Amino acid sequence: MSGAAATLSTARRRLVVDSLGIWVIAIIVGGIFGFTARQGGLSLVEAIGFSSILFAGAAQYAAVGLLAVNTPWPSIVLLVWLLNARHLLYSASVAPYTTKLSLKLRAGLAYLLTDEAFALTTAHIARLGRIDVKGAWYAGFTIFIPWNLSTIAGWLAGAALPDPATIGLDVVFAAAMAGLAIGLVKDRAALVALLVGCSSAVAAALLIDPSAAIMIGGIVGPLAGLALFRRRA
């Protein structure tokens, strides 16, 4: 075996090991999404549509939550887009490594570029110094497959599942969101965005309407972080 092949093999093994925790999260959180979607009045087909077409965990939960309080569709769509705007940066970060790939390949890989896939892919690229197309597909499907299968399972098993609160699973989603949020804090601007986003969301939920909370937190928080960034610049 050549050195390069050994390096690729080693990197792929590490990728698979790193992905195991992601599989577990995707199964648990995807299953809870299926259950939540059913509780929120979505049909099985609609729940599958959210998980396969929209395919963005936090945005899916937010959309179902907003539907439950009769938020107008344009507001939900705007929130989903805002919520997923961060993917621009993921894509921009990976883009320099994909310029020699075909347009179809880039379009396909982009479809699977979730938070977790980005994390796995960038770590894999860092180990190899280049993109490994098979590794990138693996990183994407590591989320897509368990997420969609567990959405179906969660929806179908919904009636049979115990009340999530009785086994503590009602905090899993908030815990995942908080964990992901804190994981994205790399500097003071991000910390300010997080803290202001949290506090303004809580204030909006109390003073205006729960459906406005995430939107307001998502707009005001980055503005506060940006103010810090611009002052420093």
Partner 1 sequence: MTNDLFSTDLVPLAILGGIGTYAARALPMLVPGIDRLPPAVLEYLRLIGPAVLGAIAAASVFVQGGAFTVGPEAVAVFAGAAVGRWRGNLLLGMVVSVLVVLTLRATLGA
Report if residue 6 touches partner 1, rule: CB under 8 A.
no
Please identify, using beta-carbon distances, which residue of 6 and 85 lies nearer to partner 1.
Answer: 85
Q: Least distance (Å) from partner 1 to the CB of residue 131?
A: 11
Range 74-93, binding partner 1 (CB under 8 A) = 76-77, 80-92
Please identify, using beta-carbon distances, which residue of 7 and 68 lies nearer to partner 1.
Answer: 68
Q: Least distance (Å) from partner 1 to the CB of residue 20?
A: 9
Report if residue 107 touches partner 1, rule: CB under 8 A.
yes
Range 167-226, binding partner 1 (CB under 8 A) = 167-185, 189-191, 193-202, 204-206, 210, 213-214, 216-218, 220-223, 225-226
Range 34-63, binding partner 1 (CB under 8 A) = 38-39, 41-46, 49-50, 53-56, 58-59, 61-63
Return d(Cα 99, Cα 200) in angstroms, integer: 40
Return d(Cα 12, Cα 132) in angstroms, integer: 9
Structure tokens at 215: 């939107």
Report if residue 143 touches partner 1, rule: CB under 8 A.
no
Please identify, using beta-carbon distances, which residue of 88 and 160 lies nearer to partner 1.
Answer: 88
Please identify, using beta-carbon distances, which residue of 129 and 230 lies nearer to partner 1.
Answer: 230
Report if residue 98 touches partner 1, rule: CB under 8 A.
yes
Q: Least distance (Å) from partner 1 to the CB of residue 200?
A: 7
Report if residue 24 touches partner 1, rule: CB under 8 A.
yes
Q: Least distance (Å) from partner 1 to the CB of residue 6?
A: 27
